[in-house]
């Protein structure tokens, strides 16, 4: 479906460890901020899509998460739809909001992402990730990837850290990449994150400092794997008619919003869920990779970012490391990636991550990104995938925005 929706307002909390804040506070605060940014009242909102992944495990709040969060700020009565789609929960919420506006059902729709992951018992936090795979295949899968025993996996660290270790080692063997290359990603994103007041870790790190940190899973040190976080983000999506009524002078349009899910296919097939989403998004938006000015992508680990360069066609096959080495994905380069600091530095409150990408890209396209502003940015892409089935992403989301 052709998307015709406008981002009227955005807001987010600072991501981090917020043991003193409830799920209601983390979700309500950015909603109020996004409504103010859009110039609308809560009473103008006709429907809301709320992305959350782990509240049931971490806080015990199941079933009516969106209703509980939004009623705490006086927003109710309207349709409130709860969406759980792993790391792509709020990206999917955005997709649904945009679809409903594009179809003409609503003029003003709210898309929210919120997550409270920190818990006094770390095992509870890590348990929240253990269901983002096919649980009937989990034990066999973990035995294969931990190679030497799963000690600590799922208890002292997220089980996904072991996936990232395999990913890194495979990339090193196939392309000749090194731990230094992974450290370059973390250092780059720390530079970007040092200019983002909402980043969980705003300190800049050198490659040497990244390499000197403790190894979590060989060869990845702590800054090469994204941290868990608490936080919320929200976006108000409106129709063209409503945008004119609000007097939005420099509208940011969502010109493509694509969601696809894992499907069985031969291991050597040219098409997979990621390539399907990427190609469809470029086609729907009528743009090519060369048209992109800024990208926010799912850097749940440093090797993930390097791999996604290629899957987004930012470089020819096999040249992701060169793109990084040449500084092309750093501010000032040809295609700045993760100007927010990415998941590695901004943090990863799973259900809020997708909308936080939209916050960053909207501000970039409107020239509101401060010291990390990409000059003249007009076309932006958000890549966000979550969950794993048989070694492949379970839910993939691509959104393309244009000024």
Cβ of 137: how many Cβ atoms within 10 Å? 11
Structure tokens at 307: 């791999």
Within-domain flag for 312:
yes
CATH of the domain at 12: 3.40.47.10
- With b for 16 or more beta-carbon neighbours within 10 A and e for fewer, the 312-351 pattern comes to bbbbeeeebbebbeeebbbbeeebbbbbbbbbbbbbbbbb
Hey, which residues does 274 pair with through a beta bridge? none
Q: What does the pLDDT read at residue 113?
A: 98
Structural domain span for residue 64 = 5-120+228-402
Within-domain flag for 182:
no
Q: Which of 181, 260, 298, 348 is catalytic?
A: 348
Q: What does the pLDDT read at residue 159?
A: 81
Question: How high is the mean pLDDT of the chain?
Answer: 95
Within-domain flag for 302:
yes
DSSP for 72-136 reads: TTT--SS-EEEE-BTBTHHHHHHHHHHHHHHTTS-SEEEEEEEE----SSHHHHHHTTTTSB-TT
Q: Which of 87, 98, 277, 304 is catalytic?
A: 87
Per-residue model confidence as pLDDT tens digits over 25-56: 999 999 999 999 999 999 999 999 999 999 99
Q: Which residues have CB under 8 Å from 192's CB, separation 6+?
A: 330, 331, 336, 338, 339, 340, 341, 342, 345, 372
List phi, psi (to 5°) of 364. Answer: -65, -45
Query: Considering its fold, how many domains does the chain have in total?
Result: 1
Q: What does the pLDDT read at residue 225?
A: 97
Q: What does the pLDDT read at residue 7?
A: 98
Per-residue model confidence as pLDDT tens digits over 294-339: 999 999 999 999 999 999 999 999 999 999 999 999 999 999 999 9
Q: Report yes or no: 313 and 381 within 8 Å, Cβ to Cβ.
A: no
Within-domain flag for 149:
no
Q: What does the pLDDT read at residue 249?
A: 84
Within-domain flag for 295:
yes
Q: Report yes or no: 217 and 161 within 8 Å, Cβ to Cβ.
A: yes
Which portions of the chain are predicted below pLDDT 70? 1, 146-156
Within-domain flag for 99:
yes
Residue 98 appears among annotated catalytic residues: no
Structure tokens at 318: 């096999």
**Gyration radius of the chain's alpha carbons:** 20
Within-domain flag for 75:
yes
Q: What does the pLDDT read at residue 155?
A: 52
Within-domain flag for 214:
no
Q: What does the pLDDT read at residue 128?
A: 84
């Amino acid at each position: 479906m052709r998307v015709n929706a406008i981002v009227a307002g955005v807001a987010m909390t600072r991501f981090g460890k917020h043991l003193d804040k409830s799920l209601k506070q983390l979700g309500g605060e950015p909603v109020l901020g996004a409504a103010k940014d859009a110039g609308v009242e809560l009473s103008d909102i006709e429907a809301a899509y709320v992305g959350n992944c782990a509240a049931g495990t971490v806080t015990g709040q199941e079933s009516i998460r969106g209703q509980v969060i939004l009623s705490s700020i006086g927003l109710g009565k309207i349709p409130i739809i709860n969406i759980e789609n792993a790391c792509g929960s709020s990206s999917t919420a955005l997709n649904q909001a945009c679809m409903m506006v594009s179809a003409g059902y609503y003029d003003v729709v709210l898309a929210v992402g919120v997550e409270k992951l920190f818990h006094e018992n770390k095992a509870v936090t890590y348990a929240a990730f253990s269901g983002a795979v096919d649980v009937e295949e989990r034990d066999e899968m973990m035995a294969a990837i931990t190679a030497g025993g799963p000690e600590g996996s799922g208890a002292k660290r997220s089980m996904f850290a072991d996936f990232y270790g395999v990913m890194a080692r495979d990339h090193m063997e196939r392309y000749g990449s090194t731990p230094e290359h992974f450290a370059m990603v973390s250092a780059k994103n720390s530079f970007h994150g040092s200019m983002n007041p909402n980043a969980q870790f705003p300190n800049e790190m050198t490659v040497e400092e990244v390499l000197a940190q403790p190894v979590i899973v060989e060869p990845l040190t702590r800054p090469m794997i994204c941290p868990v976080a608490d936080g919320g983000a929200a976006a108000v999506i409106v129709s063209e008619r409503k945008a004119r009524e609000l007097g939005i002078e420099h509208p940011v349009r969502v010109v493509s919003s694509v969601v696809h899910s894992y499907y069985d296919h031969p291991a050597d097939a040219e098409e997979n869920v990621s390539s399907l989403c990427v190609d469809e998004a470029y086609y729907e938006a009528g743009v090519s990779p060369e048209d992109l000015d800024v990208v926010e992508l799912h850097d749940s680990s440093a090797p993930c970012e390097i791999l996604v360069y290629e899957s987004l066609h930012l470089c020819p096959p096999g040249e992701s490391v060169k793109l990084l080495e040449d500084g092309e994905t750093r501010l000032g380069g040809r295609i700045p990636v993760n100007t927010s600091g990415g998941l590695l530095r901004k943090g990863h409150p799973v259900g809020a991550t997708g909308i936080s990408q939209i916050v960053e890209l909207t501000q970039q396209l409107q020239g509101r990104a401060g010291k990390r502003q990409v000059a003249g940015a007009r076309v932006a892409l958000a890549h966000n995938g979550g969950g794993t089935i048989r070694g492949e992403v379970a839910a993939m989301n691509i959104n393309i925005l244009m000024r």
